[in-house]
Amino acid sequence: MKKIQDFNVKEYKWLNDSSYVIVLQSSYPIPEIKPGNFAEIAVPNASDVFLRRPISVLDVDRELNTLSFYIKVVGKGTKKLSELNIGEKVSIIYPLGNSFSINGIQNALIIGGGSGIAPFVLLGRKLQEEKVNVTFLFGARTKEEIVLTEEFSKYGEVISTTEDGSMGEKGLVTQHSVFKGDFPFDKIYTCGPDPMMKAVAKIALQKNIDCEASLENMMACGFGACLCCVTETTSGNLCVCTDGPVFNSKVLKW
């Protein structure tokens, strides 16, 4: 069940000049968090950032009562969250949204770009527990934007593409050689910019493979009240915050 809870900033780790991991700690127990769940984080002391910001849970430690978030600075809210003092109070509503499904699969391909890598630490760990072979394919403009590879490699092989060729194969994720020749995967999970997810969904359709996409539509309330996050599906308009953020790509009318 979702709750509003105060956390304190425990630590920051900058990964490059525009993204960081923030660890928040609570004095109270943390409920179960499923891969794909997100939180609505209030930005403290910021009168010009009124709405909470939706951010996927990167990791959880239920012994230390900590939640971690991977955040890319794109505007005022994500910048102000990077400037809090250690110990400062942050209110969050969580856990929100649905989660990825893991049914009888053997080889999963996880494709992420931008802030869309965030839900995949919890997913990779869960898939490993379920004895599923995991390959992570991450795409970015340059090698500096490919981050947290050490963490992801605990759960599977990490491969990548960069647009400038500075790491992995040169090009876009959908141009990676993993899509050529034998394709051992029976499930694709993806999160990142819409054009990337659409291209991935198209490949999944061509290969007749199940694909789940976690959408990052803009949100306000985060729990189904304002309808500002709707996406068009084969079942009509659905709220990304409550019916998603994870959808089977076949139902999405992008």
Q: Which residues contact 65 (CB under 8 A, 6 or more apart)?
A: 25, 26, 27, 28, 29, 30
187 binds ligand FAD (CB under 6 A): no
Which segment (121-129, 132-140, 197-205, 213-221) binds ligand FAD by CB under 6 A? 213-221
**Interface characters, 82-121, with ligand FAD (x: CB under 6 A):** ---------------------------------x--x---
What is the C-alpha to C-alpha distance for residues 68 and 196, in angstroms, rounded to an integer?
A: 25
228: partner contacted, choices ligand FES, ligand FAD, none (Cβ within 5-8 A by kind): ligand FES
What is the C-alpha to C-alpha distance for residues 99 and 36, in angstroms, rounded to an integer?
A: 4
224: partner contacted, choices ligand FES, ligand FAD, none (Cβ within 5-8 A by kind): ligand FES
Q: Which residues contact 137 (CB under 8 A, 6 or more apart)?
A: 109, 110, 111, 112, 159, 160, 161, 173, 176, 178
* Least distance CB 186 / ligand FAD (angstroms): 26
The answer to whether the CB of 105 falls within 8 A of the CB of 212 is: no
109: partner contacted, choices ligand FAD, ligand FES, none (Cβ within 5-8 A by kind): none
* Least distance CB 7 / ligand FAD (angstroms): 16
35: partner contacted, choices ligand FES, ligand FAD, none (Cβ within 5-8 A by kind): none
126: partner contacted, choices ligand FAD, ligand FES, none (Cβ within 5-8 A by kind): none
Q: For residue 204, how many C-alpha atoms fall within 13 Å in the half-sphere facing its CB?
A: 24
Phi–psi pair at 191, nearest 5 degrees = -155, 135
* Least distance CB 137 / ligand FAD (angstroms): 18
Q: Which run of H or of E encompasses 201? A: helix 194-206
What is the C-alpha to C-alpha distance for residues 213 and 211, in angstroms, rounded to an integer?
A: 7
Sheet arrangement for strand 3-16 = 53-56, 38-41, 89-96, 3-16, 19-25, 66-72, 59-61
- Total residues in contact with ligand FAD, by rule CB under 6 A: 22
Q: Which is nearer to ligand FAD, 211 or 213 (CB)?
A: 213
Which segment (49-57, 85-93, 168-176, 177-185) binds ligand FAD by CB under 6 A? 49-57
Task: Single out the residue of 21, 38, 37, 202 nearest to residue 111, CA to CA.
Answer: 202
Residues that bind ligand FES (CB under 6 A): 219-222, 224-229, 239, 241
Where on the chain is the footprint of ligand FAD (CB under 6 A)? 38, 49, 53-56, 69-72, 74-78, 115, 118, 216-219, 245
